[in-house]
Amino acid sequence: MLSDSHRDLHRALCIAQETRGSIVGRVPDPQDAPVPNATVVVTNTDTNVGTTLVTNETGYYEADLLIAGTYRVMAQSAGLKKSIRSGIVLSVGAKAEIDMRLEIADTFCELPVSMQDCRICILDLESRPMGGAHAAFFGMQ
């Protein structure tokens, strides 16, 4: 049976052997609501190796078992602007918390074009509150 001092030494040695880190965070929208199912890519810029994740229902993501190095985190979701954070230095055994706020995209969409029925849908996102987009359709026949 180990004494308390031996147990503490053993615990310290186990912690000292940790060679990997993690990058975690949340992905909120402009109103601080979580963005579930957002795509998050965590890339080691030293090796150019990336890990693709999807946020859970609370907008949380976690990239574990990352080697020490410099990272870039990119988050995106439909209807929102892509967010990128670069130059994140991850040390051995560290946990970096990187939240990735996604802003409303300045968007217009083009519907499929055919010579018989051409329509373009323009979404007016700036003049309406969140969730209240105004659409104008223009048609040619």
Is 21 part of a structural domain of the chain?
A: yes
pLDDT-based confidence at 79, cuts 50/70/90?
very high
| Residue 44 shares a structural domain with residue 21 | yes
**Quick one: DSSP state of residue 9?**
H
Which whole number is the average pLDDT over 73-99?
A: 97
Residue 119 pLDDT greater than 50, yes or no: no
Is 104 part of a structural domain of the chain?
A: no
pLDDT, greater one: 47 or 8: 47
Residue 3 pLDDT greater than 90, yes or no: no
| Residue 25 shares a structural domain with residue 70 | yes
| Residue 40 shares a structural domain with residue 69 | yes
Domain encompassing residue 114: 109-140
CA 61 → CA 64, 114, 141, distances in Å?
10, 41, 47
Residue 54: both structure tokens together: 């999807």
Which whole number is the average pLDDT over 103-127?
A: 56
pTM over 0.75, yes/no = no
Residue 25: both structure tokens together: 């965070």
